[in-house]
Amino acid sequence: MPLDFAKPTPPSDDKRWKVVQATMRRNGNRHDALIETLHTVQESFGYLDDDALRYVAVALRVPLSRAYGVATFYHFFRLKPAGKHTCVICTGTACYIKGANQILDSIQQAYGVKPGETTADGQVSVLTARCLGACGLAAAVVYDGEVAGKQEAGAVLERLEKWVAP
């Protein structure tokens, strides 16, 4: 039986797969490009779905179990789509001392979402970061990639209010 070493075809003809393929090519399609490639997939699509993991595993010739293992081992990778907006609360030591937990509690009280979850309307994903390295600005919160310093529960809720549809 002839073995099929042909390049696998991407799950769809979405143009973004070209970017993913470019990353794999740049790394010589080697096994060790797995993490780099998953970063590119997440950057392009926002999260890693089953099809994407299957495709990357075949393209880099690693077992699917290893691709899935890597995707679930690292906190940075998301297996579910994120909300339209993201709100990342830093829970580093300095931010913890300055009340990051109160911020998380108040978000949970107001919207019923825990860290890692998305509001029911799909508007806002609430995430936590281990440390943004912005400790001089504790407590730090990242709204859609923009870091805001010296945050308190009230200010955070006010900001989220604008995102969450009434």
Binding flag, residue 138, other proteins (CB under 8 A): yes
Q: How far apart are CA 29 and CA 97, in angstroms?
A: 45
Which of 136, 162, 165, 166 touches other proteins (CB under 8 A)? 136
- To other proteins, the closest distance from the beta carbon of 88 in angstroms equals 9
C-alpha 125/C-alpha 152 separation (Å) is 18
In this structure, how many other beta carbons lie within 10 angstroms of the beta carbon of residue 135? 17
Q: Between 94 and 156, whose beta carbon lies closer to other proteins?
A: 94
* 18 near other proteins, judged by CB under 8 A: no
Write down the least CB distance from residue 69 to other proteins, Å. 5
Backbone φ, ψ for residue 39 (5° rounding): -60, -45
Write out the binding residues for other proteins, residues 30-49 only, by CB under 8 A.
30-36, 38-39
The Cα 127–Cα 125 span in angstroms is 6
Nearest to 62 by CA among 36, 44, 80, 42: 36
CA–CA distance, 46 with 118 (Å, rounded to integer):
14
The site string for other proteins over 87-116 (x = CB under 8 A, - otherwise) reads: ----xxxx-xxx------------------
Site residues (vs other proteins, CB under 8 A): 30-36, 38-39, 62, 66, 69-70, 73-77, 91-94, 96-98, 129-138, 140, 146-149
